[in-house]
Structure 1
Amino acid sequence: MAAVAATALLVAACGGGGETASTQPTKQTSTKASADTKPKATATKAPSDSEQLNTLLTERAYALHSGDEAAFLKTSTGTQATRDKRAIAAAKALPLNDVKMEADGTEIDGDRGTIKVHMAYRFDGIDEWYWKTSRMSVEKTDGGWKVAKDRPTYGTLAPWEHTRYKARSSKHFLALAPARMKVGKLMRDLEKGRTTMRRGLKGVKLPERVLVIVNRNSNDTKALTKDYKTLSAVVAIAEAQISTDGPARKVSDVSGNRVFVLWRSYGNRPPKARQRVIAHELAHVALVKRTGGRVPVWLSEGTAMYASGDVNRASDAGALLSGGVLRDSSKQKPAERALSLTRLAKPSSLNRMSAVGISFAYSYAAAAAYAIADKYGQGALLRLHAAFNSEKIKGKPGRKLTDKVFKKVLKKSLSQVESEVEAYARTKSPF
C-alpha cells in the first residue's frame, strides 16, 4: 500500500487537454485490511472499538473482492446499505483480483465514529493498483459497527460505485465500458493503436496489459479521477499516480496507470483516427517514468503525437506562422502566444490556456517533435526526456532549463531550435 502516498497525479488529457500534477500529503497508515485472506475470529478478551473497526474493514474488503453480497451488506446500514447493494452488484460483474482497505486515523465518540480509509484494488491480468480515499462515518449497532456513510475524500469513486461496467479483454487490454453501451470495434482499436505506438517509439516498453475505462462523456470521467478538468475537445486521457524525487523531479514510482476514453468524442471518429488517439495515450503510459516534473509539455505531448503518427497536426501552427488569420479575431492573440517553446516550457503550461490556445499549443508541440525527430533522429526525443530528468543539468522548468538541455543534447540554443520548429511548421501550412 506504499503507493497510496504517491506525491502527484499525472493526467495527460489529449485531443485538447494537457498534463496536470497535484501534490498530496504523505499518508501515515495505521491498520491494514486485505481481501487476500478471510478474517479469523479470536477467542481472547473482547476486542476494542478500534479492533472491531479494523475487522469491519477486513470483512468489507473480503466481501467486495469475493462478490459476497450478503456479507458486504452486513458491513453497512441505512442509506449506505442501499448504495452498497448497487455497488456490490456492479462489482460482481468485474474481474476484481484483490481489494485492500487501510484506516489512516480513527475518531470514536461513543457509538459513532469516523475513519479515513484508503482502498486499493486491482484487476485480473493488470499489474497495477488503483486507489480511492474516503471518509467513512460509522455507527455502533446491535449487530456491531457498521458503515453509515462512505464519502470520497477527493470526490472520486471506484468504477463499480459509479455505474455498471461490462468487462472486455484482449491480449494487451482490459476494457470496462458501461454495461449497455455498444462499443463496436473498441478492442481492435486498442490493439491497432498499441501496434502504431510501438512502431512510432521503437524500444520504448509498454506494460503487458493496460486498463482502459470507457465513459459516455466528461462528467462520467470526472467521477473517477480527481484532477480531470472539463475540456470540450477531450477525447481520451492517460492517468497515473507518480512520486518524484530530487532536484530534477525524476519519477521514482508509478502506479495506477490507466486510460480513459470519452465515447461521445471518440466513437464517431473513423477507425484510423480512433487508433491514433489510442496510440497517443499509450505513448503517455509508456513514457510516464520518463515524464518527470521538469519535462515540458511541448515535449511530452509532441512525442505522443509523433508516436501516434499525427503528422498533420502541425498544419494549424504552420498556417498561423504563414500569416493565417482566424475568423474570430479575438482568438488570434491567444493562438499566436501558444506558438512558443518558451511558453510551453513547463509541465503545467497548458493549465491556464483557453481552448483555442491549447489547440494551437498541441499543433506547435507536434511541429516541434517532428522537426526534432526529422533533423536529429527519433532517439533525440528520448534523449531530451533523459536530459530534463538529469540532475547534472541544474534549473527549474522554463526557458533557461530548456536552453541548457538543447545545448547539451542537440548542440543548439533554444532560439536556434525554435527557428527550426517554425520552419518545419510552415512546410505543413495548407497555404
Structure 2
Amino acid sequence: MNVTRSAAHVMVLLLLATTACAALSPSEVQTPTTPMTAMAVRQPSPPSTTSQTAIPGEIQPTVAPTVISSQPTVTSTATDGVYVINQRATSTHSTLKTFNLVLYRATLTGDHLILRVGFHNAGEKRFYLAALRTGDLRLVDASGNEYQPITFSANLNHINPSNNGFLPGQANVGDVTFPAPTGPAPYELRFPLYHPIAFQLDQPAPPAVLSVPEGTYPINIELYSPIKVLAPIHLRLDSIMVTQQELIVQLAFVNTLRKGYNLGKVLEWSDARLLDAEFAAYEPIGVSDSLAENIAPPKGWLPGQAHVGQITFPRPERMEELRFIFPEYAAATLYFNETGLANATITSAAGGAPPPTATPTTEQLALHELEKLLERQAKALLTDDLTAYLATFAEALHQEQQTIFERSRKMPLSDYQLSISPTTVLILSDLERGRPLDVTIFIRYRLRGIPKDNPFEHMVKATFEQQNGEWIISAYKLEQPPPFWWSSDVLVQETPHFLIITRPDAGNTLNDVAQECEQAYRDIQAAGLEVETRLVAYLTTTQEDFRAQTGMGSRTLGAAWSQYEIANEQLQSIGRAFYINGEAFKDQSDDGGPDGRLATIRHELVHLALAHETRPFTPIWLVEGAAMYYAGQLVPDFRHRLVTDGKLNSLNLEQLTGADSLGAYDLFGQLVGYEYIFSGETVRYLLDTYGADAFWEFYRSFSHVPIERVIDQIPLFSVGFGSQFGNLSRETTQEALLNIYGLTIADLDAAVKLRLREQ
C-alpha cells in the first residue's frame, strides 16, 4: 500500500506582487504586529514536565496597532551591536492567516542595519507561496524615510525553501541588509499583505547563544501517524547524540501489531527534517544502512518488530528548541539547556497539540471488544472469580469450563494472559450480519518459581457470538498440545530444582521420578553444563496422554519441548520443559542403562541446558548428539551394533543436517535408533579430536547467526516457525565447520565413519 500525499495537504497561493493592502476589503484588515514569545535569542529555560510553556511560533492573539507619529520621535542613538526583536506579523489576507513574517533580531553595523527575518508556516499543513518576493520588504523610519534591501541571504532569493514549499512549522530564515536609517526610531518592517512590524533598537541580545554539551541524551518517546496505513507503525525516538558538527537521532520504526505488516516503499529517511529554534529546517546528511533503502525491513515487519536505525543532521546553531519532523507523523519537540536535553514532548509539526490518532475501523473496534472479553476472562481465572469467568462463555460450556477452572487452581500460575492471534482477519460482512467469528486465541502463562523468560504458550480456536449485545465464546477447539490441566486433572510436586506436574494416578512413580530428576540434575552439572535453577517436568501416566501432549508414539521415552519467538530483535526460546512417558517405563525397572528412565531424564535435561544456544536450524545431529554424549548414552555395545549391523552406509550427515528431526527420512522406523548413535559418535569425535572449547564455539555459532538471516527464511505473515530451515541449517553448518575445524560436512562424515570402523 502506498501513501499518497493528498492535495488537501498543500495550500497554494497565487497573488500578484503588485497587490496592495488598500485593495482589500475592510473585513480582511486585522490588527498588526504580534509580539513573539520564546524565540531562540532569548535562551529560555526548558519547560518542566508538569507545566508546559507556550511553544515558540504559535500564533498569538493580536494586539492594538502600533502607529508611527507624523512627528519625529526623539530617541537615544543606538550603537553598533545585536538587538533582540522577536516579533511576528500576521497577514491582512485571510488565505495567509497561518503564514507569518518573523523578525528575530537586528544587527547595526556601520552604515547597515541587518535584519534576521523568517517566513514561517505556522500552520499544520504544507504551504506554498507564489508571487511575493523578499525584495518587496521595506524598512521605514519614524520620519517616513523608506529603505529597500541592499542584499539578502541566498536562500531568500525565493521565499519558498524548496520546490515543495514549506513543511508544517518550517521557516525560511536569513538575513536582509538595509542601509542604516537616517531617521529616528521606532522603525517599521513592511511587506505586502502583512501588518508592519514596529521595533526599536533598545534591547541588546545576550553575548552568546546556548552551548549544548556533546553527549548522548535519551528521548524514549513514540510518535504515531493519523494516516490509516501508517497507524500500525510507530516511530520510536530512542536518543539523540550531540557532537561538534552533527546531531544523530537513534530511532526505530516499530510494528505495533501482532501480525506481520508491509508498506511498500512509501517514506524514506531523506523525508526527515529537523527544525531549530528559529524554525529553519535542516535536511539529513547521513543514514544507517538499515534505513538507507526504506523505513521498513526488506520483507516487511514481523509481529512487534522494531526496525532500528539512525539519521544524521548538521548541528544547528540555535538549539534551545528543536523539532524532529517525519512526514505523516506527530512531531517531537526537544528542549535543551546548558546541561543538555531537558525535556521532550510530542507535538504537531508546527509545535501545537499532537494530531489525532487514526480512526479505528469496524474490524478494529470488534477486535478490541474481543480482546476486552479475553482480558476479563484471564483476570477472573487469576483472581478465582468463577462467576466472572463463566460469564465469558455460552451456558452450554459452563459445566466443562467450571471443571477446567477448578483444575487451574491446582496449577502454580503466577500469570495468565489471553490474546488474539496476530493473523486474525475479521470479515466486515460477517460483522454486519451478526455471524459467529472463528478466532485463534493464544493462551500464555507463567509458573511460580520458573524464570520469567520462560513463559508457556498454547493455542485454542474459539467461536465468538453476540448474545444480548455482548460477545461470548460459544465453542472452542483445542490445538496441540493443550494446556496440561485442560485435558485431565493435575497433581503438582516441587523439588529443589523441579516443578513436576503429573496426574493424580501417578502413585509412587512420582516420588521415584522426583528423585531421578534431582540425580540427573547433579549428573549434568558434573558434566560441566549449566542448568537453570528451576525447570518444569511433565510426567504422563498413559500413552494417550503422552501422545496428546507431545504428538509422539509409544517408542518415545521422553521429549524436551521448547518454542521460539522473535522479541527485542532476537530469537528466544520459551516454553522450555520436558515430558517423561510414564507408561513406557511401567513394566521395567531402571537398571541405570542408556535406555533407562534416569538416562532419559539426563538426555532431556541436556536439551534444556542448551536451549538458549540451540536454534531451529542447529543441525539435528548436533542437538541430539550432544544429548547422547552428555547423558552418558554412548556405550560400546551401541557403537559395535552400528558397524556390525551394516548401517553406516545408510547414514549421511549431509542428509541429517537438512532434517527437522532424526527419523525424518526413516519411513519404516528402522534407522532412527542408529541415527541417534551416529549423531552421538559424531559429537564424541569432535570433542576427542579438537577439544571442548572448539566444540562449544561450534555449537554456539548457530545462536550468533544474524536475526535478519533467520527472518529471510520465515514467510512474511507466518506465526512461529512452520517453514523448513533445512537450507539455512546446511549453509550455517558448512560455514561453521569450515571456520572452526577446517572441515566440510562430507569431510566430517567420512572421518567419523572411518573412526567407527577402526574401533
2:385 aligns with one of 68, 71, 78: 68
Tell me by how many angstroms 1:5 deviates: 7.6
Match of 2:403 in 1: 86
- Which amino acid in the other structure matches residue 524 of structure 2? M
Distance 1:140 1:413 in 2: 61
Alignment pair present for 1:270 and 2:270: no
Q: Which whole-Å CA distance do the structure 1 matches of 2:634 and 2:692 have between them?
A: 14
Describe the shift of the 1:115–1:388 C-alpha distance in structure 2 as closer, same or farther (beyond 3 A).
closer
Tell me what 1:369 maps to.
683
Name the counterpart of 2:420: 103
Matching residue of 2:443: 119
Q: Which runs of 5+ in 1 are unaligned?
A: 7-24, 30-47, 326-334
Instruction: Give the number of the structure with larger relative contact order, counting CA–CA contacts within 8 Å between residues 6 or more apart.
Output: 1
Whichever residue aligns with residue 343 of structure 1, its letter is Q
Partner of 1:156: 481
Once the two structures are TM-superposed, the CA of residue 198 in structure 1 deviates from its matched residue by 2.1
**Correspondence list, 1:264-343, <5 A:** 264-267=583-586, 268-270=588-590, 272=592, 273-312=596-635, 315-321=637-643, 323-324=644-645, 335-343=647-655
What whole-Å deviation, never above 9, does each CA across 1:200-255 have from its counterpart, x for those lacking one? 2x2x4322211111113453234335xx3x3432111111111479xxxx972111
Aligned residue number for residue 505 of structure 2: 180
Distance 2:731 2:376 in 1: 55
Alpha carbons of structure 1 residues 146 and 376: separation in structure 2 relative to 1, 3 Å: same
Measured after TM superposition, the shift of residue 387 of structure 1 is: 3.7
- What letter matches 1:277 in structure 2? T
Does structure 2 retain, via aligned residues, the 8 Å contact 1:318–1:427?
Answer: no
Preserved CA contact (<8 Å) 1:337 1:343: no
CA distance in 2, matches of 1:113, 1:285: 38
In structure 1, the residue matched to 2:394 is: 77
Deviations, residues 266-292 of structure 1 (Å, cap 9, x unaligned): 453416332221121111112123222
**1:236 is aligned with what amino acid?**
G
Report what 1:418 is aligned to.
749
| 1:411 CA displacement | 3.7
Partners of 2:413 and 2:445 within 8 A in 1? yes
Following the alignment from structure 1 to structure 2, what is the Cα–Cα distance between the partners of residues 3 and 218? 40
Instruction: Give the distance between the partners of 1:78 and 1:53, measured in 2 at CA.
Output: 18
What amino acid is the match of 2:532?
A: P
Please give the residue correspondences for 1:153-232 in structure 2 after superposition, counting only pairs within 5 Å: 154-182=479-507, 183-200=510-527, 202=528, 204-225=529-550, 228=551, 230-232=552-554
- Normalising by structure 2, we get a TM-score of 0.44
- Distance across 1 between alignment mates of 2:728 and 2:435: 52
Letter of the 1:418 partner, please give it: D
Figure out how many residues of one structure are paired with residues of the other and give that number: 369
Q: Partner of 1:241 in structure 2?
A: 563
> What secondary structure sits across from 1:366 in the alignment?
helix
Deviation, structure 1 residue 337? 4.7
Residue 399 of structure 2 aligns to a residue in which SS? helix
- Give distance in 1, aligned partners of 2:617 and 2:642: 28
Compare the two structures and name the one with the higher strand fraction.
2
CA 1:416–1:151: 2 relative to 1, 3 Å: closer
Change in Cα spacing, 1:98 to 1:139, as seen in structure 2 (3 Å) is same
* Structure 1 residues 113 and 199, CA gap change in structure 2 (3 angstroms): same
Contact preservation (8 Å) 1:166, 1:177: yes
Q: For 1:383, which of 665, 684, 697 is the aligned residue?
A: 697
C-alpha distance 180-400 of structure 1, shift in aligned 2 (>3 A) = closer
Aligned to 1:175, the other structure's residue is in SS state strand
Q: Percent same amino acid at aligned positions? A: 19
Distance 1:364 1:3, change over 3 A: farther
Secondary structure in 2 matching 1:208: coil
- Partner-residue secondary structure (3-state), 2:673: helix
Listed one character per residue, the Cα deviations across residues 300-345 of structure 1 (whole Å, up to 9, x for unaligned) are: 1111111111121x64343342x436xxxxxxxxx44543322322
Q: 2:342 is matched with which residue? A: none
Q: 1:352 to 1:95 in 2, by over 3 A?
A: same
Closer, same or farther: CA 115–418 of 1 in aligned 2, 3 Å: closer
| Structure 1 equivalent of residue 670 of structure 2 | 356
After TM superposition, the structure 1 stretch with the greater mean CA deviation from structure 2, 113-122 or 89-98, is 113-122
SS of residue paired to 1:353: coil
Find the residue that maps to 1:185 and give its secondary structure. Answer: helix
* Structure 2: distance between partners of 1:399 and 1:113: 42
Secondary structure at 1:310 match in 2: coil
Q: Secondary structure at the match of 1:61?
A: helix
State the distance in 2 between where 1:297 and 1:418 align.
14
Does the aligned pair in 1 maintain the 2:492–2:501 contact within 8 Å?
Answer: yes
Query: Do the aligned partners of residues 147 and 259 (structure 1) sit closer, same or farther apart at CA in structure 2, a change above 3 Å counting?
Result: same
How far has the Cα of 1:65 moved from its partner? 2.0
1:260 lines up with 2:582 in the alignment: no
The structure-2 alpha-carbon separation of the partners of 1:316 and 1:51, relative to structure 1 and needing over 3 Å to count, comes to: closer
The 1:309–1:148 alpha-carbon spacing in structure 2 relative to 1, beyond 3 Å, is same
Q: Any idea what the Cα deviations from partners look like across 1:138-160, whole Å, max 9, x if unmatched?
A: 333359433211223x3432111
> Residues of 2 paired with 1:235 and 1:286: CA distance?
19
Which structure shows the higher helix fraction?
A: 1
The one-letter amino acid paired with 1:378 is A
Equivalent position of 2:341 in the other structure: none
| RMSD over equivalenced CA pairs, Å | 3.5
Measured after TM superposition, the shift of residue 118 of structure 1 is 1.8
Contact 2:505-2:541 within 8 A present in 1 as well: no
Matched, 1:140 2:466: yes
**C-alpha distance in 2, partners of 1:148/1:320?**
55
Aligned residue identity for 2:749:
E
CA gap 1:317/1:346 in 2 versus in 1, 3 angstroms:
farther
Q: Secondary structure at the match of 1:421?
A: helix
Aligned equivalents of 2:638, 2:741: Cα separation in 1? 26
Please say if residues 524 and 606 of structure 2, whose CA atoms lie closer than 8 Å, have aligned partners that are also in contact: yes
| Alpha carbons 1:251, 1:289 under 8 Å: kept | no
Q: Deviations over 1:55-85 (max 9, x none)?
A: 4212211222233333322221233222202
Output the CA distance in 1 between the equivalents of 2:629 and 2:382.
40
The answer (yes or no) to whether the contact 2:618–2:729 under 8 Å persists in 1 is no
Structure 2: stretches of 5+ with no match in the other structure? 1-255, 261-300, 306-364, 710-725
Output the CA distance in 1 between the equivalents of 2:417 and 2:463. 18
The aligned amino acid for 2:645 is G
Distance 1:319 1:55, change over 3 A: closer
Provide the secondary structure at the position in 2 that maps to 1:257.
Answer: strand
Deviation at 1:404? 4.5
Amino acid at match of 1:363: I
- 1:130 matches 2:456: yes
Tell me the alpha carbon deviations over residues 95-127 of structure 1, each in whole angstroms, 9 at most, x when there is no partner. Answer: 111111123445644374444322211111112
